[in-house]
Amino acid sequence: MPELPDVETFKRYLDATALHQSIAETEVFNERVLEGVRPADMKKALSSRQFNATHRHGKYLFAHLDDAQWLVLHFGMTGRLKYYKVEDSRPQHIRLQVRFTNGYHLAYDCQRMFGSVTLAADTEQFIQRKKLGPDALRLSWSEFRQAFQGRRGRLKPALMNQHILAGIGNVYSDEILFQMELHPELSVARLSKEQMHRLYTTTQDVLQTAVDARADPERFPNHFITPHRHDEGTCPRDGQPLQRITVSGRSAYICPRHQPAPD
């Protein structure tokens, strides 16, 4: 489920593989992933160009083409990138493929088709048009505080709201709240300034730790809940069975002992 740490990992993968390679050909296997761009225009935009820089904002990855356009990738739930030489290594749900003059390919693979690929002239403009909040791993304490200022909703939906903060989804909101020992349905307005500050530092810590682990739960520290986020999962602190509850239509995993329900 690509959230900020996963997308940052894709960014580093693209940087290490496809950057500065000349594009020979682009194939669109499923044009439904293209958002407001015709396949022919996408091919034309990529043709004979190179990715010369990348940028990530929240769950969006931008790859700069050397004529000032940006390729914009969103990974939905099941999206990923794969770089490979022989076509046999093509991923199963390939939607878009770029072939470079060095013979390698970069694929945008997306099983459930919730992701999207588009073009943008300017990243800031794109971010404004989507009304995205500040990137959850690139903001100061005062920006964080301001983002939550005056919010009346509950913690989990607020953390997942891309207009407030960009980058956190269902899995990492559970992780942050578990580390905070706060219930996902507690209202934002009930946090003290000290708790709000701790929410900031915990958010930074959880996301940075996940980025450093390349978003792979098997590499996460023992005290993280994410590897235990399933029906038979137990609390990494006390071995108690985890509880699955529904908060704003999403499954939330909590430790009932460490994250007691609010009054």
Rule CB under 7 A: which residues touch DNA?
Answer: 1-3, 32, 58-59, 74, 76-77, 92-93, 111-114, 130, 150-154, 157-158, 160, 162, 169-171, 188, 229, 244, 248-251
Smaller CB separation from DNA, 54 or 170: 170
Q: Give the CA distances from residue 167 to residues 37, 112, 134, 200, 216, in Å, rounded to whole numbers and listed in that order.
A: 24, 20, 9, 14, 17
CA–CA separation, 5 and 2 (whole Å): 8
**Tokens found for residue 263:** 């009054």
42: its two tokens = 């996408």
Q: Which is closer to DNA, CB of 84 or CB of 233?
A: 233
Closest CB 215 distance from DNA, rounded Å: 12
- Distance in angstroms (rounded) separating the CA atoms of residues 250 and 260: 18
Q: Which is nearer to DNA, 85 or 190 (CB)?
A: 190
* Shortest Cβ 2–DNA spacing (Å): 7
Cβ at position 76, least distance to DNA in Å: 5
Between 36 and 239, name the residue whose CB sits nearer to DNA: 36
Q: How far is the CB of 127 from DNA (least distance, A)?
A: 12
Contact (Cβ atoms closer than 8 angstroms) between residue 34 and residue 114:
no
- Of 68 and 231, CB closest to DNA: 231
Minimal distance, residue 162 CB to DNA, in Å: 5
